[in-house]
Structure 1
Amino acid sequence: MRATALIADDEALPAARLARELRRCWPGLEIVDTVANGIAAVSQIKRLRPDVVFLDVEMPGHRGLEVAAIIAEDLGPDSKSPLTVFVTAHDDFAVEAFEHAAFDYVLKPIERNRLERTCARLREELRSQSVLDDALQRIDPSEPLPKLDRIQAAEGSVVHMVPIEDVLYFEAADKYIRVVTSKREHLIRSTLAELFGRLDPAEFWQVRRGTVVRAAAIVTAERQPSGTLALTLRGQTRKLIATRQFAHLFRSM
């Protein structure tokens, strides 16, 4: 598929190698620009609106993590942010990267097999977004889709009928969706794009790319130094991260 990308790295040789490897494993990807600092990255991402950005974590001007945060804030919740892949020589930044809504991260020096897996996931996500955009354009507001009242999750020869009010959150997992309740989780062969039009937006909130949460299940939303929020859900020990792009959902009354 055709897509566009921007590379931001203050080291010319790694940036050139990344561009070369991307052209090899993703011939349909057009690299629209390569910049050497965070300030130029912010400016060019806003101007060119690439589908994907590859951000070096450590570079002058703004660090890659700061660039991602600025872009998410400046583009706002109504604009489509690029998919962000962080590039770093150290895997210590992995947790912090995903708090900034990273789609993925790759280590320097770039390993071809690892980059191919990242590109395959990027292509799949962009296809899903395209399907969702097409579906939304075809929706006739005078004929809304019926809202889901249950999820039918197959497990072997058994189909579990999960009431929609029992669902705490949905989370995309490749070609499947994890359907998490307070008691267990199920896998359904679907995409979030196929579910969006059948979920009540007053009841289910998108909190990051690939995650939709039942609003009534959220107990606390704790703001992080990065501007993201750590969400505690009823009966869950795992916290979910809401990215800056969706932080407006949690403004105090």
Structure 2
Amino acid sequence: MNTEARPSALIAEDEPVLARTLSRLLAEVWPELRVIAVAEDGLSAIELALEQAPDIMFLDIKMPGKTGLEVAEVVADDWPGDKAEPLFVFVTAYDEFAIAAFEHSAVDYLLKPVTAERLRSSVERLKRRLGERAESPATGEMGALMQKVQTLSASAEEMEEKEAPERIKVIRAGVGNTVRMIPVAEVICFEATEKYVNVVTATGEALVRMSLRELTARIDTSDFKQVHRSVLVNFNCILSATRDEIGHYSLTLRGLQRPIKVSRAFSYLFRPM
């Protein structure tokens, strides 16, 4: 939480009327809360969040540029390590986003149109969470949140497709005119690029045309852990984790010559026991 006595909030909503309505209702039910910024799209929300460091973010699920889920994912990963993490409240017109998953977490949700009664309930929950975290900060909370929103995003995508994706044990990756057949167990790590996933093994690298979220939804990830919003690592391949002077970790992996960066959200995975 910010050092100032009054908590702060950022609203990300692409419909100005709805943004004003939420601001007005917040002023009624939580006068102490300062709305320090309003973003009209996902990219602006990310920029303002990292610049202003609000205590709470109210995120519309569907926005131009980045969805609310994607905004939470990026903010969680890039959040400065010397500042208390924000609490996220998702605002949505739909209930198919597995809303029940939020009930017992630091994340809350509001269904449109937002009512003062429901907002009061959310405010009470947020006040409790802010108080709890001030007394005892939760280690690894941001990493857990990133995994939650990614699971939520994958669930939403599957619901839109109406069918669960077929599980795969061997990845077919094109390399020039050749198709490499790569067993998932032999993968050192998966790295997301703009439109592809780079599949890294001890014998080379290959691209597959799908998102990291889509790929991980189709494979057995029991041996893999996320260490960055765009990187999934086979934990059986980790030799060591090295921390630099500002607290960032990098991994040395068996079979890979270059290090892999760990984001602050997942640094708790490598702290000494």
TM-score range, shorter chain: 0.5 to 0.7
**Counterpart residue number, 2:14:** 10
Equivalenced residues, count: 157
- Indicate how the Cα distance of structure 1 residues 4 and 127 shifts in structure 2: closer, same or farther if over 3 A, else same: same
Residue 81, structure 1, aligned to residue 100, structure 2: no
Equivalent residue, structure 1, for 2:66: 62
State the shift of 1:4 in Å.
0.7
Q: Which residue does 1:51 correspond to in 2?
A: 55
% same residue: 37
Deviation at 1:95, TM superposition (A): 5.1
Which residue of structure 2 aligns with residue 114 of structure 1? Answer: 118
Which stretches in structure 1 are left out of the alignment for 5+ residues? 133-192, 197-204, 212-219, 230-243
Compute the displacement of 1:3 (Å).
1.0
8 Å CA contact 2:41, 2:66 repeated in 1: yes
Q: Is the 8 A contact 1:87 1:107 kept in 2?
A: yes
- CA drift at 1:123: 1.2
Scaled by the length of structure 1, what TM-score is found? 0.53
Alignment-derived partner of residue 45 in structure 2: 41
**Alpha-carbon distance in 2 for matches of 1:108, 1:228:** 34
| Alignment correspondent of 1:150 | none
Distance (Å, rounded) in 1 between the aligned partners of 2:116 and 2:76: 29
What one-letter code is carried by the residue in structure 2 that aligns with 1:74?
Answer: D
Inter-partner Cα distance in structure 1 for 2:101 and 2:81: 20
Aligned to 1:248: 267
Code of the residue aligned with 2:124 in structure 1: it is A
Q: For the Cα contact (< 8 Å) 1:57–1:87, is it kept in 2?
A: yes
- Once the two structures are superposed, residues 85-115 of structure 1 have per-residue CA deviations (whole angstroms, 9 ceiling, x without a partner) of 00000111235974xx752011000022111
SS of 1:247's partner is helix
Q: Which has the higher strand share?
A: 1
Describe the shift of the 1:226–1:102 C-alpha distance in structure 2 as closer, same or farther (beyond 3 A): farther
**Would you say 1:206 and 2:145 are equivalent positions?**
no
Q: Are the equivalent residues in 1 in contact too, given 2:74–2:229 (CA < 8 A)?
A: no
Unmatched segments (≥5 aa) in structure 2: 145-221, 233-262
SS in structure 2 at match of 1:206: coil
Alignment of 1:209-220 (within 5 A): none
TM-score (norm 2): 0.50
How many Å separate the matches in 2 of 1:43 and 1:246? Answer: 18
Distance 2:133 2:268 in 1: 22
